[in-house]
Amino acid sequence: MPSTSPTASIARTRTLLSSWASSRPSSRTTSVQCLTQRRCNSTSVEPPPAGGHLPGVATSQLLKTTRDAALRIPGLKWVDELDSSVLGGRETRKMNTYQAIRDAMAIALAKDNTAVVFGEDVAFGGVFRCTMGLAEEFGRERVFNTPLTEQGIAGFGIGLAAMGQTAIAEIQFADYIFPAFDQLVNEAAKIRYRSGGTFNCGGLTIRTPTMAVGHGGLYHSQSPEAFFMGASGLKVVIPRSPAQAKGLLLGSIRDPNPVIFMEPKILYRSAVEQVPVDDYELPLGKAEILIPGSDVTLLTWGTPVYHCETALHMLNSPSPQIEPFVPASLRGAKVELIDLRSILPWDMETVVESVKRTGRLVIVHEAGMTAGAGGEIAAEVQKRCFLKLKAPVRRVTGWDSLRWACNMRSSIFRTRSGFWMLWSRRWHTRSYAFQPNRTLNTYL
Amino acid sequence: MIRPLQRLAGSATRRTVQSSSLRRLYATGAQTLPKSTSPIVSKLDFFNTVTGNGTTIPTYRVLDGAGQPLEGAELPEIDEAFARRLYEHMQLLPTLDNVLYNIQRQGKISFYYGEEATIIGSAAALENDDEVLGQYREMGVLLWRGFGLDKIMGQCFGNKEDTSGKGRQMPVHFGSPSHHFHTISSPLGTQIPQAAGVGYALRRDPNRRSKSIATCYFGEGAASEGDFHAGMMLASTIPSPTLYIARNNGFAISTPSSEQYYGDGIAARGPGYGIDTIRVDGNDVLAVINAVREARRRCLTQGRAVLVEAMSYRVGHHSTSDDSFAYRPRSEVEDRKRIDNPILRFRYFMESQGWWNAEAEDELKARLKADVMKAFKRSENLKRWELGELFTDVYGGEEPWNITEQRQELAGLLKKYGNAWEPWRKELAKFSDGGESLMKRA
């Protein structure tokens, strides 16, 4: 039975810790130590900072710090054949996310004369700098401001795309995409189908900054991806890093379907990595396994990818303050971290394959829980993995309320703490305790 | 906000500031506010009209009710053959309307909307490759461009000859890329900002720049949607050769225009967006031709939006789901049909030119009715598209797993119950392949 008193809980954890050390010096311990060493920045003997050494976006191991790593992104497809006379092959450059997005649009504009970029305030470079210099480089006929009307921007883009041209529209914040909901769901998503394939607006890409930024309040923080998840005919894509953003955006612009491309705005400046300078695409509708594992599948997208990385670190190497709450039996858990990347259509095969191996699934997203994308995925996974599931599918999400109080960075707090609660409280109970070899029948 | 300098300069020359008429200036040296060419005045003066003298916007007309040219009116240059073609297409619409309406009453097709004769005049004034984005009363444009009765019927029945949408949409939702007619959709007003994008695309296309325009039709009710505001603003601000034709027929289903707006119709809004605007008698086909030809010319030369408000009266019901006598007197409708019938008015004109007579009228009516009935009879017995088309065209390119799986699920159900259960067997027989191609994939 779960312990209800903190003292009892601490005592129990200590017992577990000591028994762990004496009875299971297995390969798992080694892997935990490796992870600990890899993820901690400091090996000094000084006491760690109050919050512990936590990997954040700035120090994430998931970002590509070398040219070699950047050139070997899974699924990367070069668009041009490399000229064999070029010495040294493909090059990379250090970019943050907005620079990578700007780079992708510059390539799209340079190679496709029908491509135009438009939206509110894009001509001077955009409020997030994603279109810096594009108007100067390609002219005001191709990179221009629109009046302040989201339904107009979406409709205008549909019209351009219906004529076979490439429309790259920007909605300034995903929170303000709702005035365009009718144009996107009733029109863009359905034009090909309703016209029997004679018309389409596949050339349309809607870029929009999304997710929490720490102080965005109600209308600069939202994650509306699930609202579009039922709009068959649209694609919804969310990158996690600069190299992902460039490859997925170029893939979205050239995809024969209208795509809503949501850019996690907190990553615009904070995520920095090596990005291939050439023209390349990453596949839509494909998830990416970031950390392989065999005990739990952890599925997420966008900013929470980094929160999950932090949570994994906390699990494997808890700071002294929380150490009593982390059962030793959980610390060696081999968690498989998956970045979904495409919300619609989502990569069912990769997720299901993973859950069949691990038997457990935790879905993490910033949007609220009720009718969030996690619910759809959980339902599909339980249908397909029923006999393989060793525990209920868990969703760690924003609350169904005011999710982002000003200046509290509460979404990060929420996701971290929520994820943390999941390990420490829910999985701590005996019925779902971490026992890799248990089958579903044990719990029934 | 950054505004291009040339635009400021352009607006300054267009609206001349008559500073000499200003008695006092608010501040010495400052005759206008930043980002504005508005002269400063010291007299408190609200206004509520765009004509400047308090009158409503006039309606342009060239023929009177008896088909005679008004004094000073300039008729468009049309010859007998062109006039006959106009008249025949105008007559074709009520003929089709009647047949389809009655079919609908018998439950053979599920839905049908009426039509306005305004459409033929504007279609005749456009080039056949001008892009058209309509609302759903613009079938006449397609007929004018040679779409053909079989495809009209095919779409209404949703049979194999429905090239507009493989039987997926409700009746009268036509479309055809080769006729430059974008597929109709039910949500009102959505085509208005889309037309601005189409206009901009034409401007950017080297083969069509300065040759083609986008034309967008909508009713006065749809003009209350936010998309109207967006579209007008976009096509004028991001200069796009887009012609907006508002069909003001006095009703949006049951709502009279007096409950739709309090201003001077739709035309009064045009100048607010800085676009050239005219109000025309939508029951005078020659006035419509003149107005739309000139509007089209302005679209091309200025590269910006132009607005035409065509005034008419919806003599039919809103749709077959509507009985309009529930909200307007039958006598009002009958009076309008008699006094201001667009077809009759043009017929009088034709007769005055010696181009038409009672004999020609009888022959035409008989011929049109026979043509329409022939197309209807032919269409009635045609099968639907293959059932498998239920799942195609959702996406371009690779099909997502969920679509594939759901197709297989239906195929499995059909294999199991398709022949065993009478209602399903009867329904399957209506498809051109009886569902076979779908079941093969199960």
The reply to whether residue A152 touches residue B163, judged by beta carbons under 8 angstroms, is: no
- Measure in Å the smallest separation between the Cα of B321 and chain A Cα atoms: 22
> Would you say A113 and A166 are in contact if contact means Cβ atoms under 8 Å apart?
no
Query: Do residue B373 and residue B404 come from a single domain?
Result: no
pLDDT of residue B337: 65
- Measure in Å the smallest separation between the Cα of A148 and chain B Cα atoms: 9
Query: Do residue B307 and residue B418 come from a single domain?
Result: no
**A233: helix, strand or coil:** coil
Query: Do residue B241 and residue B127 come from a single domain?
Result: yes
The reply to whether residue B204 touches residue A167, judged by beta carbons under 8 angstroms, is: no
The reply to whether residue B2 touches residue A123, judged by beta carbons under 8 angstroms, is: yes
How many Å apart are CA A265 and CA A302, to the nearest integer?
A: 10
Tens-digit pLDDT profile for residues B220-256: 999 999 999 999 999 999 999 999 999 998 877 778 8
Q: DSSP for A18-64?
A: HHHHHH--SHHHHHHHHHHHHH-S---SSPPPTT-----TTT-TTS-
Lowest-pLDDT range of A259-268, A409-418, B28-37, B278-287: A409-418
Closest Cβ–Cβ partner in B173, B192, B397 for A256: B397
Q: How confident is the model at residue A56 (pLDDT cuts 50, 70, 90)?
A: confident
Tens-digit pLDDT profile for residues B14-29: 444 444 444 444 445 5
- pLDDT over 50 (residue B3): no
How many Å apart are CA A45 and CA A37, to the nearest integer?
A: 14
Q: What is the DSSP letter of B38?
A: P
Query: Do residue B151 and residue B199 come from a single domain?
Result: yes
Backbone Cα Rg of chain B: 25
The answer to whether A57-281 and A288-412 have equal CATH topology is: yes
**Which residues of chain A from 222 to 261 reach within 8 Å of chain B, CB to CB?**
232-233, 235, 255-257
Nearest residue to A71 (alpha-carbon basis) of A89, A98, A87? A89
B206 vs A: CB within 8 A? no
Query: Do residue B270 and residue B364 come from a single domain?
Result: yes
Q: How confident is the model at residue A53 (pLDDT cuts 50, 70, 90)?
A: low
- Measure in Å the smallest separation between the Cα of B165 and chain A Cα atoms: 4
**Among A220, A307, A313, A428, the one annotated catalytic:** A220
Closest Cβ–Cβ partner in A147, A163, A232 for B198: A163
Residue B101 lies in a domain: yes
H or E element that contains B357: none
Nearest residue to A75 (alpha-carbon basis) of A290, A267, A227? A290
Q: How confident is the model at residue B36 (pLDDT cuts 50, 70, 90)?
A: confident
pLDDT of residue A47: 54
Residues with Cβ within 8 Å of B254's Cβ and at least 6 positions away in sequence, in order, are B318, B322, B324, B326, B327
The reply to whether residue A257 touches residue B396, judged by beta carbons under 8 angstroms, is: yes
Number of Cβ atoms within 10 Å of the Cβ of A8? 11
Nearest residue to B1 (alpha-carbon basis) of A383, A142, A181, A145? A145
The CATH number assigned to the domain holding B219 equals: 3.40.50.970
Q: Stretch A398-416: mean pLDDT, rounded? A: 50
Closest Cβ–Cβ partner in A155, A191, A196 for B230: A155
Top-confidence residue, A425 or B319: B319
The reply to whether residue B177 touches residue A156, judged by beta carbons under 8 angstroms, is: no
Angle between helix A348-358 and A373-384 (nearest 10): 60
Provide the pairing of β-strand A342-344 with A235-237.
Answer: antiparallel
pLDDT of residue B75: 95
How many Å apart are CA A132 and CA A215, to the nearest integer?
A: 24
B165 vs A: CB within 8 A? yes
The reply to whether residue B165 touches residue A196, judged by beta carbons under 8 angstroms, is: yes
Number of Cβ atoms within 10 Å of the Cβ of A147? 17
Closest Cβ–Cβ partner in A141, A149, A197 for B233: A149
Nearest residue to A351 (alpha-carbon basis) of A368, A329, A373? A373
Name the residue of chain B whose CA is nearest to A203's CA. Answer: B396
Give the CB-side neighbour count of residue A392, counting CA atoms within 13 A.
9
pLDDT of residue A166: 98
How many Å apart are CA A49 and CA A53, to the nearest integer?
A: 7
Token pair 């079989």 is found at B150
Q: Which amino acid is located at B42 in the chain?
A: S
Q: Stretch A11-18: mean pLDDT, rounded? A: 41
pLDDT of residue A82: 77
pLDDT of residue A29: 36
Q: What is the DSSP letter of B272?
A: G
A77 vs B: CB within 8 A? no
- Measure in Å the smallest separation between the Cα of B381 and chain A Cα atoms: 21
Residue spans of beta strands (DSSP E) within B103-189: 131-133, 181-182
pLDDT of residue A89: 82
How many Å apart are CA B99 and CA B93, to the nearest integer?
A: 10
Q: Which amino acid is located at A240 in the chain?
A: R
Q: How confident is the model at residue A204 (pLDDT cuts 50, 70, 90)?
A: very high
Q: Average per-residue pLDDT in chain A? A: 83
How many Å apart are CA B278 and CA B60, to the nearest integer?
A: 8
Cis amide leading into A345 (omega within 30)? yes
B230 vs A: CB within 8 A? yes
Lowest-pLDDT range of A130-134, A206-210, B238-242, B245-249: B245-249
Token pair 């679509």 is found at B403
The reply to whether residue B204 touches residue A116, judged by beta carbons under 8 angstroms, is: yes
The reply to whether residue A179 touches residue B226, judged by beta carbons under 8 angstroms, is: yes
- pLDDT over 70 (residue B116): no
Best A194, A205, A236, A346 member to test B by mutation, with max B CBs in 10 Å, is: A194
**A93: helix, strand or coil:** strand
The distance in angstroms from the start CA to the end CA of chain A is 16
How many Å apart are CA B112 and CA B94, to the nearest integer?
A: 13
Q: Stretch B273-287: mean pLDDT, rounded? A: 95
Residue B39 lies in a domain: no
Q: Average per-residue pLDDT in chain B? A: 88
Buried residues in A53-79 as b, exposed as e (16+ CB within 10 A): ebbebeebebbbeebeebbebeebeee
- Measure in Å the smallest separation between the Cα of B12 and chain A Cα atoms: 20
Give the CB-side neighbour count of residue A11, counting CA atoms within 13 A.
7
- CB contacts of A138 in chain B (<8 Å) are none
Name the residue of chain A whose CA is nearest to B161's CA. Answer: A196
| A89 class by beta-carbon count within 10 Å (0-12 exposed, 13-18 middle, 19+ buried) | exposed
Angle between helix B191-204 and A150-162 (nearest 10): 50
Secondary-structure percent of chain A, ordered helix, strand, coil, rounded to 5: 40, 15, 45
The distance in angstroms from the start CA to the end CA of chain B is 58
Tens-digit pLDDT profile for residues A336-371: 999 999 999 999 999 999 999 999 999 999 999 999
- pLDDT over 50 (residue A405): no
Residue B19 lies in a domain: no
- pLDDT over 80 (residue A99): yes
Strand partners, A263: A209
Residues with Cβ within 8 Å of A259's Cβ and at least 6 positions away in sequence, in order, are A204, A205, A206, A234, A235, A236, A237, A252, A253, A284
Q: How confident is the model at residue A411 (pLDDT cuts 50, 70, 90)?
A: very low
**Which residues of chain B from 382 to 401 reach within 8 Å of chain A, CB to CB?**
389, 392-398, 400-401
A221 vs B: CB within 8 A? no
Closest Cβ–Cβ partner in A149, A152, A160 for B200: A160
Query: Do residue B432 and residue B331 come from a single domain?
Result: no
Q: How confident is the model at residue B359 (pLDDT cuts 50, 70, 90)?
A: very high
What is the CA angle B171-B175-B179, rounded to 5? Answer: 140
The fold for domain A288-412 equals: Rossmann fold (3.40.50)
CATH C-level class of A57-281: alpha beta
Q: DSSP for A362-392?
A: EEEEEEESTT-HHHHHHHHHHHHSTTT-SS-
* Residue length of chain A: 444
How many Å apart are CA A352 and CA B405, to the nearest integer?
A: 15
What is the CA angle B98-B102-B108, rounded to 5? Answer: 130
Domain total in chain B: 2
The reply to whether residue A159 touches residue B229, judged by beta carbons under 8 angstroms, is: no
Lowest-pLDDT range of B5-14, B95-104, B433-442: B5-14
Residues of the domain holding B435: 387-441
- pLDDT over 50 (residue A125): yes
- CB contacts of A183 in chain B (<8 Å) are 190, 193-194, 227
How many Å apart are CA B149 and CA A177, to the nearest integer?
A: 41
Instruction: Return the structure tokens found at B140.
Output: 């006449």
Q: Which amino acid is located at B99 in the chain?
A: V
> Would you say A166 and A107 are in contact if contact means Cβ atoms under 8 Å apart?
no
Query: Do residue B238 and residue B102 come from a single domain?
Result: yes
pLDDT of residue B23: 47
> Would you say A120 and B211 are in contact if contact means Cβ atoms under 8 Å apart?
no
The reply to whether residue A182 touches residue B173, judged by beta carbons under 8 angstroms, is: no
A118 vs B: CB within 8 A? yes
B5 vs A: CB within 8 A? no
Q: Which amino acid is located at A83 in the chain?
A: D
- Measure in Å the smallest separation between the Cα of A115 and chain B Cα atoms: 10
Best A144, A163, A235, A252 member to test B by mutation, with max B CBs in 10 Å, is: A163
Q: Stretch A50-61: mean pLDDT, rounded? A: 72
A146 vs B: CB within 8 A? yes
Strand partners, A232: A234
Instruction: Return the structure tokens found at A249.
Output: 């955006």
The structural domains of chain A, with segments of one domain joined by +, span 57-281, 288-412
Token pair 């050390």 is found at A21
- CB contacts of B231 in chain A (<8 Å) are 152, 155
Which of B331, B359, B381 marks a domain boundary?
A: B381
- pLDDT over 70 (residue B153): yes
Q: Stretch A405-424: mean pLDDT, rounded? A: 40
Residues with Cβ within 8 Å of B212's Cβ and at least 6 positions away in sequence, in order, are B127, B129, B130, B131, B202, B241
B233 vs A: CB within 8 A? yes
Residue B7 lies in a domain: no
Residue B151 lies in a domain: yes
Nearest residue to A245 (alpha-carbon basis) of A77, A346, A101? A101
A195 vs B: CB within 8 A? yes
Its sign, for the CA torsion B231, B237, B239, B243, is positive
**A143: helix, strand or coil:** strand
Closest Cβ–Cβ partner in B4, B182, B227 for A155: B227
Residue B255 lies in a domain: yes
Q: How far apart, in Å, are the Cα atoms of A419 and each of A352, A395, A423, A441?
A: 21, 9, 7, 26
Q: Stretch A212-241: mean pLDDT, rounded? A: 94
Instruction: Return the structure tokens found at A280.
Output: 């390349």
Q: What is the DSSP letter of B273?
A: G
Residue spans of beta strands (DSSP E) within A184-294: 204-210, 235-237, 259-264, 272-276, 280-281, 288-291
Number of Cβ atoms within 10 Å of the Cβ of B47? 7
Backbone Cα Rg of chain A: 23
Number of Cβ atoms within 10 Å of the Cβ of A370? 12
The reply to whether residue A186 touches residue B226, judged by beta carbons under 8 angstroms, is: no
Nearest residue to B136 (alpha-carbon basis) of B108, B164, B171, B107? B171
How many Å apart are CA A28 and CA B266, to the nearest integer?
A: 74
Q: Stretch B25-42: mean pLDDT, rounded? A: 74
- pLDDT over 60 (residue B90): yes
Phi, psi of A226 (to 5 degrees): -70, -25
Q: Is A313 a catalytic residue?
A: no
Size of interface A-B (CB pairs under 8 A): 172
Q: Stretch B408-428: mean pLDDT, rounded? A: 94
- Measure in Å the smallest separation between the Cα of A378 and chain B Cα atoms: 15
Phi, psi of B205 (to 5 degrees): -85, 115
Q: How confident is the model at residue B315 (pLDDT cuts 50, 70, 90)?
A: low
Query: Do residue B175 and residue B245 come from a single domain?
Result: yes
Determine if residue B263 is left, alpha or beta; phi over 0 gives left, psi from -120 to 50 gives alpha, anything else beta.
beta
Residues with Cβ within 8 Å of B402's Cβ and at least 6 positions away in sequence, in order, are A345, A348
Residue B280 lies in a domain: yes
Closest Cβ–Cβ partner in A195, A196, A348 for B401: A348
